[in-house]
Structure 1
Amino acid sequence: MSNDKAAELLAAVRAVESGERSAASFFNEPAPAPSRPARPARPGRNARAAAGAGQGRGAGPVTVPDEVRALLVEGRAPEALARRVVETLGEGAAEVLRADPWQLLAVPEVRAEQADGFARTLLGDDAGPGDPRRTVALVVRLLERAALRGDTALAPEALAKGLAQHAVPDPDEAVREAVDAGAVLVFEDALDAGPAPSPMTESGSEGEEERPVNVLVGLDRYALAEESLADGLARIASTFGSAGSASSAGEGAEAGEGEGWAAAAEGAPSPSARELIRAAAGSGLVTHTGGEASRAEVAALVAAARGLGLRAWAVTHTDDSRDRMARLLTEPPHSADTAGSVDTAGSADSATEQAVGAETGSATVAGVLADTEGPGRDAEGALAVDLLAVCDAPQLDAETAAALLESLPDGARLVLSGDPGVLGAAGPGQVLRDLMAAKFCPHVASRTPDPGPVGELVSGIGIGELNQVAAPGKEVVIVPVADPGEAVHRTVQLVADSVPRALSIPSAETQVITPGHGGAAGTRALNAALKERLNPGPGRFGGFDAGDRVAYSPAPGRTSVGTVADADDRGLHLACAGRSVTVPPERVQETVRHGWAVTAHQAAGIRWPAAVVVLPGDATGALTREWVYTAFSRAERHLSVVHGAGDALPRAVASAVGQERTTRLRTLLTEAARAAEAARAAETAGTEDPDA
């Protein structure tokens, strides 16, 4: 979109907001940017559980009306698509598609050219490339695809460029039509973070200074999530002191709750744990970053808060992460020299650790929001907590974070903790990064290094350095390969023979990680080879056999690695993280894969005693510093790198950072801080006024 077009879009939005023009009078009535919504009442236990909170679609049986199947056949679309169409568009899907065939694009699996073919079959010559129904559906699809990349909104020019690639005759007009139809929203976010403009012009009359703004277009679900999240963070941050006002953790502690917190900080097992406890004492909202060893600092904070009689919980992204936190909460504190170096081999099974988690205060975010684990809720539907520490915060997407903040009661403390070097959330948003960039609250950076050769290697990658590390116990091994075929062969050899024989780590505790699902050394090829070696069988349960390792993903970004136990007419029975899971037959194909090999995105939040990271030469384009950091840091005791990427690996570590996400949270938080500062200034001025 040209600068003139963007300026026109911005001017129109401002005209509507000021009341000079109605929404129906411009751009074929594009909608104005919404104001921040009021915080809704908290849902009760059953409502929150029904909301799903990341449970995934298709949880129950879907009835497919005959007219939906008939319409798909008439439009030459696969009849097998009927269930997904009804899941997406509802039981009235036939009427919706008859009126607007391009609504088929709302089904994630459908490509634009397939929807075009469906529309041409139904509409004939009336199905033109500039049909407003088509262009609106394409705008929504482009924003949904952007959300899969992590963006909560896009610039109008980025949308116009994407529409041009789909042969839309007038992409700029198509964006305006989508706004007009109410399918998307337009936002103007201030680019400057300086003081609020004066309400008086130089002549002394009332007016408003022109401020530089960034125009973005987004879907309402993500816009409302980020605005609700900003409100929630501002509410929690104002619990003790003012948002962003603490210049250091120590000063925040002096304004905290007194001797109990001070004593807890003095008894902390490391300087970083002491700093974190002091920060949480003096502020309702704190960010905390560090590697795996820094989780002991979060455990020290939760234990200290519980020792003070507070209802404190640590919540995590995965079951495995929850179990590791449960161990930290039940073990005696470790000094700064040994924190994070505990050998987890031979620890209690996960079922036991789930029970321990309930006793000590650890749970998963998804379980807490679904009300299946964690602290439970009070009579008003709020979580029964006084302090909530969220580990794995980089994996929080905007919608999940908004649901979590909305569930927190007034007066609670919130600590968002995580490793900033790992891959971000599977959904749209970058909550921890935006919160830190906005300097909205006190921040504690752990000074506790991850132990051992693997920890040393990963720490270097985090700052862009691929160092050789001393590994006297074969903690890190590089296995060079010439091609993807050799990569598969050597990977199977490592998992099935070399690692168990040399390091006494069984194959069941060794995880393979590779950049993608496709390709000659992707997860599909590696899993086929590993199954043939480790658990051969005919695949009698829809491609799976009892004993197969599987990756179960009930919702995007949430993966558990387990094994197949059995199958019957109810579905596929899995053992995942010490619990039994039954996947209905209609959900198996989209939620279950073989899991001897997974991608780094699937592995985020999980660690294994040994990891074999495969870097085939045909996947070098997928390598970024975050990917390498995430994959390598999944290993606790041993890391093997099957290396066929040549100099692409050091180049990725040195310079190939992940693409910056387009989000609005940073701006919303900056605006919230400015508004709070202005309110405090006005209040101060009022108290100093002798006439007040």
Structure 2
Amino acid sequence: MAEEQRRPGGAPGGDGVPGTVLEAVLERVTYANEETGYTIARASPARGGPDLVTVVGPLLGAQVGESLSLTGRWSSHPKYGRQFDVWSYRTVLPATVQGIERYLGSGLVKGVGPKTAAKIVAHFGTATLDVIDADPGRLIEVPGLGPKRTKAIGAAWEEQRAIKEVMVFLQSVDVSTSLAVRVYKQYGDASIGVVKNEPYRLANEVWGIGFKTADAIARAVGVPEDSPERIKAALQYTLSQASDGGHCFLPAPNLVADTVELLALPARLVAAALAELAEAGERVIAEDVPVGDATVPARYLAPFFHAERGLAAGLLALLRTSEDRLGVFGGVDWDKAFAWLRRRTDAELAPEQAEAVRLALTERVAVLTGGPGCGKSFTVSSIVALARAKGAKVMLAAPTGRAAKRLAELTGFEARTLHRMLELRPGGDAAYDRDNPLDVDLLVVDESSMLDTVLANKLVKAVPPGAHLLLVGDVDQLPSVGAGEVLRDLLAAPAIP
């Protein structure tokens, strides 16, 4: 039978060597990842004996019982042995009555088992698949198939065919197999329409697709290079690149100039597109930021704008609340407290260290900073010891696993990464936030120079009113991993002790 469902894509390996073609029938699926399309399956080769072979790779849309033409290469897995790594595949529809009956009764189409398949093929012969594809209503001609079941079979056939049509189209515009799976998972049957008409949505809505990939797809479907949507996507890409360099925003003139350089288009077109984006106020936010005696026309990506504003508001709320979960230290006899510490540690706090201990235990938000060897570690362990001695709930955290381990070693108490403490989920949402805060009286965060604006905002949201937040770090040490220099900005803020 000449009709085929093609699924090209899957370029040869990095060495440029063309792939091997394996003709086989998909017998069973051992594992399938619904998000990525990655599949481990067993297949029966058309040639080469009765033994099944293992095939692995992106096989979204492939169904048990289908005859497949697989392109890829043979490899040897250290644990599972010989397997065929799939780069791409196409479905080869059977041409004989026996092949069509087996294919149709394999479970490919919901509601059609071996017996029903036999009845349908007995009635339509080698034209069976053409009938189901072009005029499924004719299934009513088959004895025993009523209108309801006929409709269900037609719908199931259409669903599995739609997946293949989408995948074929996506890869015809040079979308790789793995990205095509993500696009289909995001948009389903609407994928073709989105890619044809709004390709730059992919950069914002599909993980793993950035501006450059979306731009290549857009050019493949005929989007003009001076399209306003292309320019708007490029502006957002430029801001995203700036955030990777640590910047929460760019001044509007710099943003326009950088995007003009990227696209090689007139500045007036880029400026007009930026004005439209800013006016919409959804993805790009315009704000005049004070710098010295002047203001800068800042342009933010929305997440960084909201994170920056949220962080500032959250810190002020912690500072201004009347609640105090460490209120016991408001009337403590500090001479007795420090004497207790001295007996416990056999060491004396320097005057600056003693003042830092007082601040951390009496102020809702405090920053402890200084270079290597200045005594930050002893100060932190003293703060934690006094808080625990008064029965306070203390949590210790750091941005990285290594820093958390070091913090635990110097204090003698458990420390976790911020991601683990907040239970950050894929996509960035945290289990603990303003509506579900941490149960903590004193939260100590070490290596705070690594805090970026987005993570710091999530952290402050999770601190309950009245709890104390102590940020420890050295701005001249490890830099933030994302946009913003939170610790440096807090050190410059008069409101933060």
TM-score, length basis structure 1: 0.42
Check whether the contact 1:152–1:428 (CA below 8 A) recurs between aligned residues.
yes
Q: Is structure 2 residue 264 aligned with structure 1 residue 167?
A: yes
Q: How does 1:15-34 map to 2 (within 5 A)?
A: none
Q: Is structure 2 residue 285 aligned with structure 1 residue 185?
A: yes
Check whether the contact 2:434–2:464 (CA below 8 A) recurs between aligned residues.
no
Whichever residue aligns with residue 250 of structure 2, its letter is: L
Whichever residue aligns with residue 397 of structure 1, its letter is: D
Between the aligned partners of 1:258 and 1:300, the Cα distance in structure 2 is 18
Between the aligned partners of 1:191 and 1:378, the Cα distance in structure 2 is 32
Between the aligned partners of 1:122 and 1:105, the Cα distance in structure 2 is 16
Count the aligned residue pairs.
Answer: 320
Q: What is the DSSP-based 3-state SS (H/G/I as helix, E as strand, rest coil) of the residue aligned with 1:441?
A: coil
Q: Is structure 2 residue 101 aligned with structure 1 residue 101?
A: no
Check whether the contact 1:383–1:407 (CA below 8 A) recurs between aligned residues.
yes
Match of 2:469 among 398, 414, 418: 414
Between the aligned partners of 1:213 and 1:129, the Cα distance in structure 2 is 34
* Structure 2: unaligned runs, 5 residues or longer: 1-32, 38-59, 61-162, 426-430
CA deviation string 1:72-129 (max 9, x = no partner):
2222333332245467x55555433222123344467657565444223212xxx322
Between the aligned partners of 2:241 and 2:170, the Cα distance in structure 1 is 24
| Structure ranking higher in strand proportion | 2
Offset of residue 274 of structure 1: 1.6
Distance 1:256 1:310, change over 3 A: closer
Distance 1:283 1:60, change over 3 A: farther
Q: Is structure 2 residue 310 aligned with structure 1 residue 228?
A: yes
For 2:422, the equivalent position in structure 1 comes to 369
For 2:240, the equivalent position in structure 1 comes to 144
For 1:451, the equivalent position in structure 2 comes to none
For 1:122, the equivalent position in structure 2 comes to 221
Q: Is structure 2 residue 480 aligned with structure 1 residue 425?
A: yes
Match of 2:301 among 210, 215, 219: 219
Distance 1:111 1:379, change over 3 A: closer
Distance 1:410 1:60, change over 3 A: farther
Whichever residue aligns with residue 235 of structure 1, its letter is: A
Distance 1:61 1:295, change over 3 A: farther
For 1:307, the equivalent position in structure 2 comes to 389
Check whether the contact 2:434–2:462 (CA below 8 A) recurs between aligned residues.
no
Stretch moving more, 268-277 or 128-137: 268-277
CA deviation string 1:183-230 (max 9, x = no partner):
31111233458xxxxxxxxxxxxxxxxxx4321111111111111111
Give the percent of matched residue pairs that are identical in Structure 1 and Structure 2. Answer: 27
Between the aligned partners of 1:273 and 1:60, the Cα distance in structure 2 is 55
Higher relative contact order (CA 8 A, sep 6+): 1
Between the aligned partners of 1:298 and 1:90, the Cα distance in structure 2 is 50
Offset of residue 255 of structure 1: 12
Offset of residue 147 of structure 1: 1.4
Check whether the contact 1:401–1:431 (CA below 8 A) recurs between aligned residues.
yes
Offset of residue 178 of structure 1: 2.2
Offset of residue 71 of structure 1: 3.2
Offset of residue 386 of structure 1: 0.7
Check whether the contact 2:353–2:379 (CA below 8 A) recurs between aligned residues.
yes
CA deviation string 1:614-647 (max 9, x = no partner):
xxxxxxxxxxxxxxxxxxxxxxxxxxxxxxxxxx
- Give the superposed CA RMSD: 3.4
For 1:82, the equivalent position in structure 2 comes to 180
Offset of residue 440 of structure 1: 2.5
Stretch moving more, 218-227 or 168-177: 168-177
Offset of residue 305 of structure 1: 0.8
CA deviation string 1:454-504 (max 9, x = no partner):
xxxxxxxxxxxxxxxxxxxxxxxxxxxxxxxxxxxxxxxxxxxxxxxxxxx
Q: Is structure 2 residue 337 aligned with structure 1 residue 264?
A: yes
TM-score, length basis structure 2: 0.58
Offset of residue 326 of structure 1: 1.8
For 2:366, the equivalent position in structure 1 comes to 286
Offset of residue 415 of structure 1: 0.8
Q: Is structure 2 residue 132 aligned with structure 1 residue 132?
A: no
Between the aligned partners of 2:212 and 2:274, the Cα distance in structure 1 is 20
Higher radius of gyration, 1 or 2:
2
Offset of residue 414 of structure 1: 0.6
Offset of residue 265 of structure 1: 4.2
Distance 1:90 1:410, change over 3 A: farther
Between the aligned partners of 2:221 and 2:434, the Cα distance in structure 1 is 53
Offset of residue 176 of structure 1: 1.1
Between the aligned partners of 2:424 and 2:418, the Cα distance in structure 1 is 10
Between the aligned partners of 1:229 and 1:76, the Cα distance in structure 2 is 42
Whichever residue aligns with residue 274 of structure 1, its letter is: A
Q: What is the DSSP-based 3-state SS (H/G/I as helix, E as strand, rest coil) of the residue aligned with 1:154?
A: strand
Offset of residue 291 of structure 1: 4.2
Check whether the contact 1:256–1:283 (CA below 8 A) recurs between aligned residues.
no
Match of 2:443 among 366, 388, 392: 388
For 1:339, the equivalent position in structure 2 comes to none
Between the aligned partners of 1:139 and 1:61, the Cα distance in structure 2 is 29
Between the aligned partners of 1:79 and 1:93, the Cα distance in structure 2 is 14
Whichever residue aligns with residue 405 of structure 2, its letter is: D
Between the aligned partners of 1:67 and 1:85, the Cα distance in structure 2 is 13
Stretch moving more, 93-102 or 144-153: 93-102
Between the aligned partners of 2:274 and 2:316, the Cα distance in structure 1 is 32
